[in-house]
């Protein structure tokens, strides 16, 4: 559970993730379902493994979680990995919602 002192840091991380996901990247790369459709197509060509766009976003969350775990074990937490993980979860939710599924 977070304390009042930690709340501004957590809010700041989530606000930065929101700014990144909903800012220029959307206009630069398109809606996440379009962006991650391209990503998973390239991944399929390279690996032969088929993923859906939402799985591509979750794969990126896994990358960030692996880095956070490695750094946590070394006694370090990289703020940018927290921002990125939150952003990729946001991207996942956008893709799921664009497919007509409800995020509750």
3-state secondary structure 37-80: HHHHHHHHHHHCCCCCHHHHHHHHHHHHHHHHHHHHHCCCCCHH
Phi, psi of 2, deg, nearest 5: -90, 155
Name the residue among 87, 26, 100, 29 with its Cα closest to residue 58: 87
Query: Would 52 be classed as within a structural domain?
Result: yes
Query: Would 104 be classed as within a structural domain?
Result: no
Phi, psi of 49, deg, nearest 5: -100, 130
Flag whether pLDDT at 4 surpasses 90.
no
Given a contact cutoff of 8 angstroms between Cβ atoms, the answer to whether 81 and 71 are in contact is yes
Q: pTM value?
A: 0.84
At residue 80 the predicted structure's pLDDT band, cuts being 50, 70 and 90, is very high
Tens of pLDDT, residue by residue over 57-70, are 999 999 999 999 99
Instruction: Return the percentage of the chain with pLDDT > 90, whole number.
Output: 73
* Domain region containing 48: 7-98
Domain total in the chain: 1
Query: Would 1 be classed as within a structural domain?
Result: no
Name the residue among 9, 26, 3, 7 with its Cα closest to residue 87: 26
């Amino acid at each position: 559970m977070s304390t009042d002192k930690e709340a501004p840091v957590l809010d700041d991380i989530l606000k930065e993730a929101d700014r990144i996901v909903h800012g220029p990247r959307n206009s630069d790369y398109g809606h996440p379902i379009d962006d991650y459709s391209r990503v998973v197509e390239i991944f399929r060509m390279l690996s032969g493994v088929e993923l859906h766009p939402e799985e591509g976003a979750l794969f990126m969350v896994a990358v960030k979680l692996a880095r956070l775990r490695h750094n946590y074990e070394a006694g370090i937490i990289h703020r940018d990995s927290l921002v990125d993980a939150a952003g990729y979860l946001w991207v996942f939710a956008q893709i799921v919602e664009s497919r007509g599924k409800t995020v509750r």
